[in-house]
Structure 1
Amino acid sequence: MFLTQTVPRQREIIEVLLRNGWDYMRRVLTGGKADEPQLPTPAVLKNILVDLGPVYIKLGQLMSTRPDLLSAGYIEELSTLQDEVPAVPWADVEVLIRKQLKRPLEETFSTINAIPVAAGSIAQTHKATLVDGREVALKVQRPGIDLTVPQDIALIQGIADLVARTEFGQNYEIKAIAEEFTKALEDELDFTREASFTDQLRRNLSQSRWFDPTQLVVAEIFWDLTTPKLLVMEWLNGGPLLQADLENDNNGKDPAEKRKEITTLLFRAFFQQLYIDGFFHADPHPGNLFYLKDGRVALLDCGMVGRLDPRTQGILVEMLLAIVDLDAQRCAQLTLQLAESTQPVILVKLENDYDRMLRKYYNLSVSQINFSQIIYELLQVARNNKIRLPSNMGLYAKTLANLEGVARGFNPELNFLDEIQPLLTDVFRQQLLGENPVRSLLRTALDVKSLSLQSPRLLEFLLERITSETLQWNISLRGLDSLRRTADDAANRLSFSILVGSLIMGAAIISSNAQTSQLLFLSNVLFATASFLGLWLIISILRSGRLR
């Protein structure tokens, strides 16, 4: 078990927890009573993760993508986590690069800048030039990180095992969530996954009927040089979108007009990813959206992506419309359609919670509504009602929040509804008719034909079963099993009580008419048996807690 082992890393974690004053873990580690685990405050949790080091910072960044599990305060605090780690010395990085290349370093690159342009917990990035003159970015895995991550993953799973023994851990399936996070950490160590995600995203965005694909850039991957520990991609010359100096740009357009164009481009590109492709860049924070020198916009760092199946896409489109209409009842119905949880849900309570949440937006115009904030609050209501939603809902909500946040920072005149309304019409049309309306119509006609041919036969079969009295209905009502067990327990105790009473009465009759010592002994045996059984019955009732 986690707490019984004494490896240095575990002692270090315990020291960090105690140093940051997390009261719950302090009680656990000192043997105090702590039946229900409590998360530390957002600020304390952030400090704990920072003190634990790069891997736990990455874990915190992953946790910030799960507003379906954590409240808005935690999401906001964890979203500020940055990979503020010192760069690895160039000598160590050069050794790793040489091991990953098939040819000598000098025959592959003409120059490599030894000073990294960025350093993170998993990797650092250097600018280089190929021997053919093309500029590239080298994302190099930190040497030794592949040995450190498995150790920290084992510790994370150990903590999850500890918390999973509590009611809190069982309600939120802590072990499954820990497994999901650790799998994401392991995936971060394989740069070929990020390379394949980047390629797929570039292919998906290379054509669109909503925006000009030539204005959106996703870096090209150099597969002949890319390995699980080295990612080589096209160098994009630009800077963060929010730092773009459009006033001094030489594109010849009015800065306000250019901001409107870029905002529309981003919304349309991400709507295509979310509701058409079902494969989306899940981390569009300000550092991953670049404004290039030639006036185009680039998406960087495709290591974190999300996926949505067609059914979920349809539900989420309806959810956006329900939010616009402030329709609490429809929001509740759509939430239950998305839910993975099998626990009973009181629909009226869920609807009332949504109604209270949406009521504060009744007097606001659509341009004043922060849609990503409403989605966060919808997830909060679902969590309070113990509804477990798929993990991709967290990525979806975080993606919309980041996108809307960057768009409002870049273009304060943003009207969310104006940007999405024309897209929603197209999305609904595609969901109804598909990419090929004629093919969809023919498929529907074949389904109607099949139904018309089978209906008479099925109706005849149903009538025959009814008239022959062989029709059986299998009805399953939730909660009847517990009611049946309660009724069985009550019947058993009643029968037991009657038996005890009969033994006492029989013993009393025999005792009053006892003429011999054998009958007197029999009477005493019956009294003793009845007393023992009666005492056992009383103890079982008290232990069940159902005396009242």
Structure 2
Amino acid sequence: MFSRLVQTSSRQGEILEVVLRNGWDFMRRLLTGGKVDEPKLPPPAVLRNILVDLGPVYVKLGQLLSTRPDLLPAEYIDALSTLQAEVPPVDWAEIEVVLRKQFSQPLEEVFASVNYTPVAAGSIAQTHYAVLKDGRAVALKVQRPGLSAVVEQDIALIRLMARLVAQTDFGQYYDIVAIAEEFAEALRNELDFTQEARYTDQLRQNLSGTRWFDASQLVVPQIYWEYTTDKLVAMEWLDGVAVLSAFPPISAAEGVVDLQRREEISTLLLRAFFQQICLDGFFHADPHPGNVFYLKDGRVALLDCGMVGRLDPRTQQLILELVLAIVNLDAQRCTQLVLQLAPPIQPINRVKLETEFDRLLRRYYSLNISQVNFSKLVYEVLQIVRDNKVRVPGNLGLCAKAIANLEGIARSLDPNFNIPNKIRPMMTEVFQRQIVGEAPLIALLRTVLDVKNLSLQSPRQVELLLDRVTSETLQWNFSIREAEPIRRTVDSAANRVSFSIVVGSLIMGAAIISANTQSSQVYWVSDVLFAAASFLGLWLIISILRSGPLR
């Protein structure tokens, strides 16, 4: 299998060589046809080195995985969160070729000037400062040339690896093939810059009209659609620096520290993301410090909206209640909400899950609210969920990652800032909005209509139920999930008893034939019976020993 894969493509051969060179033993055994155990990820540092060596596409894979604490332990999330593509900027001559293909007229007729030196360079694109003919300053995010072909090759290999790992219990449980497809779709979306432009516009619209915070203090860049294509985004130029560069940690700050301004920015970001997650159901999924800017005019900007999360109303409500349960350290409610968010695909020990939640949250009972690291607590909750074989939706992992990034920024700005302490006052207003909605009269009329429909349908349903009861055609279908392991155990025991009876019968038959016949011509029959009994008996003993310890 290994040689066939290598011969398929030089790119695939290069990727496989990097994986094997970094010493991931599971993949070596899998690809060379050796004995395969359940896969174990390489250590975080090794995984990070593999992704860096594989190039920009796999760096992007690592960045996407860093937003999924529902899949990876905290140490992997930390290692991948700082992953950046160490790629030099593309020469302006190549970027100019891409730019000219995006416009029907010459660049000189579109731009008054373009800075040939990029202000930022990443694995997918690089950004240049430019001025339009009408005087507006814009940021041009241009896709790196020739990237699409490499991406498609890498996606094909990732799918192949996923199908190989899917043959194991690990791959089937975590649905590795679906995760690979999710990554492929996310990567293709990032290559389509019109998608990022639409996300940016929607986020800008959602945050522009709000009563949760002063919308004039938070800005998302405006998209200039007349200059935007699938390989180019032209957006409003926002003059500023990363927020932690403008407000370094207090221990490293020089001069007078404006604590009030730091708290204002932290509260602004918290309220903005609380609205995105709990009210809008559409949120910026990667608010790391490099994507939050402090502008020269004192406003805060959210940049790079290529990665977003979406939540349906039911999931929004459950997440909101889960956050409240975690803040209140309510283990029983946490268990109920987690199982509603992610119905288990196999029987789980609910008592064990609740006990582990209680043991985790009990550690925080004696702490002052200012001592609680909320993002760490959320990660530990997800770790317990993952250990108990409950597969949570990917968007819940995106929420956890967004909260972790947000808390990291807030605590760097203000060491005394605490999310649980800030969230509680907002809960009442959120629950009130969920109960009455934005339009209470419409919600009331909808409820009255539902009651009317129920009152009209109920007599007919009751009549049908009574008719089936009296005619003895009513059937009840029960599905007891916990009974399935018992059924398998009983079947296994019955099979072993049957084999034991067969083995005993063969031995008795062989003994009778051997004792009561004088002809050597039929001795072979008893020998065959003894051999069959010995083989079946040995097989039965081995299967019993392999099934577990004897009790």
Shared fold (TM-score, shorter chain, > 0.5): yes
Aligned in 2, Cα 1:469/1:215: closer, same or farther, shift over 3 Å? Answer: same
User: Does structure 2 conserve the Cα–Cα contact (< 8 Å) formed by 1:504 and 1:526?
Assistant: no
Alignment match of 1:312 (pick from 305, 315, 325): 315
- CA offsets per residue over residues 374-393 of structure 1, 9 Å max, x none? 11111110111111011111
Q: Deviations over 1:347-391 (max 9, x none)?
A: 010011111211221111112211111111111101111110111
**Which structure 2 residue ranges, 5 or more long, are not aligned?**
249-256
How much has 1:476 moved relative to structure 2? 1.0
Distance apart, 1:404 and its partner CA = 1.1
2:451 maps to 1:448: yes
Give the distance between the partners of 1:32 and 1:156, measured in 2 at CA: 21
Aligned residue among 384, 409, 414 for 1:406: 409
* Match for residue 109 of structure 1 among 111, 114, 120: 111
Amino acid at match of 2:4: T
- State the shift of 1:133 in Å: 0.7
- Provide the rounded CA distance (Å) in 2 between the counterparts of 1:472 and 1:310: 35
In structure 2, what is the Cα distance between the partners aligned to 1:489 and 1:528?
29
The one-letter code of the counterpart of 1:267 is L
Q: What SS does structure 1 have at the residue aligned with 2:244?
A: helix
Query: 1: distance between equivalents of 2:100 and 2:288?
Result: 33
The answer as to whether partners of 2:510 and 2:527 remain within 8 angstroms in 1 is no
1:242–1:286: 8 Å Cα contact kept in structure 2?
A: yes
In structure 2, C-alpha distance between the alignment counterparts of 1:181 and 1:373, rounded to whole Å: 25
What pairs with 1:118-133 in structure 2 (closer than 5 Å)? 118-133=120-135
User: In 2 relative to 1, CA 50–444 (structure 1 residues): closer, same or farther, beyond 3 Å?
Assistant: same
- Cα distance in 1 for residues equivalent to 2:408 and 2:381: 18
CA contact (8 A) 2:95 2:144 kept: yes
Note if 1:191 corresponds to 2:190.
no
- Structure 1, unmatched stretches of 5+, are 247-253
Offset of residue 199 of structure 1: 0.8
Aligned residue in 2 for 1:365: 368
Partner of 1:541: 540
State how 1:195-206 maps to structure 2 within 5 Å: 195-206=197-208
Moved more, 408-417 or 24-33: 24-33
Q: 436-445 or 67-76: which moved more?
A: 436-445
Deviation at 1:463, TM superposition (A): 3.7
Aligned residue for 1:397?
Answer: 400
Taking the TM superposition and a 5 Å limit, the aligned residue runs for 1:120-269 are 120-244=122-246, 255-269=258-272
1:249 is matched with which residue? Answer: none
TM-fit CA distance, 1:161:
2.4
Distance 2:364 2:226 in 1: 53
Q: 1:16 aligns with which of 14, 18, 26?
A: 18
Tell me, yes or no, if the aligned pair for 1:503 and 1:526 is still in contact at 8 Å: no
How far did 1:323 drift? 1.1
Contact in 2 for aligned 1:372/1:401 (Cα 8 Å): yes
Name which of 409, 429, 432 aligns with 1:426. 429
Q: TM-score, normalised by structure 1?
A: 0.89
Query: Given the superposition, is the C-alpha separation of residues 283 and 255 from structure 1 closer, same or farther in structure 2, using an over 3 Å criterion?
Result: same
Deviation (angstroms), 1:23: 4.1
C-alpha separation in 1, matches of 2:41 and 2:175: 15
Cα displacement (A) at 1:32: 5.4
What residue in structure 2 maps to residue 80 of structure 1? 82
Q: Say whether the 8 Å CA contact 2:263–2:413 is kept in structure 1.
A: no
TM-superposed CA distance for 1:330, in Å, is: 1.0
In the TM superposition, residue 12 of structure 1 has moved relative to its aligned partner by 2.6
Task: Provide TM-score, normalisation by structure 2.
Answer: 0.89
In the other structure, the counterpart of 1:288 is: 291
- Judge which range, 258-267 or 461-470, deviates more: 461-470
Residue 145 of structure 2: SS of its match in structure 1? coil
Q: Which amino acid aligns with 1:473?
A: W
Q: Distance in 2 between matches of 1:525 and 1:24?
A: 49
1:209-247 CA deviation, whole Å, 9 max, x = no partner? Answer: 21122222111111111111111111111111122269x
Q: Deviations over 1:267-323 (max 9, x none)?
A: 111111101110001111111111111111111000000001111111111111111
Structure 1 range deviating more: 17-26 or 288-297: 17-26
Which residue does the alignment assign to 2:252? none
Deviation at 1:123, TM superposition (A): 0.4
Distance in 1 (CA, whole Å) between partners of 2:416 and 2:363 is 22
User: What residue number does 2:4 align with?
Assistant: 4
Q: CA distance change for structure 1 residues 446 and 57 in 2, over 3 Å: closer, same or farther? A: same
The match for 2:301 is 298
Alpha-carbon distance, 1:333 to partner: 1.1
SS of equivalent residue, structure 2 residue 430? helix
More displaced 10-residue stretch of structure 1: 349-358 or 299-308? 349-358
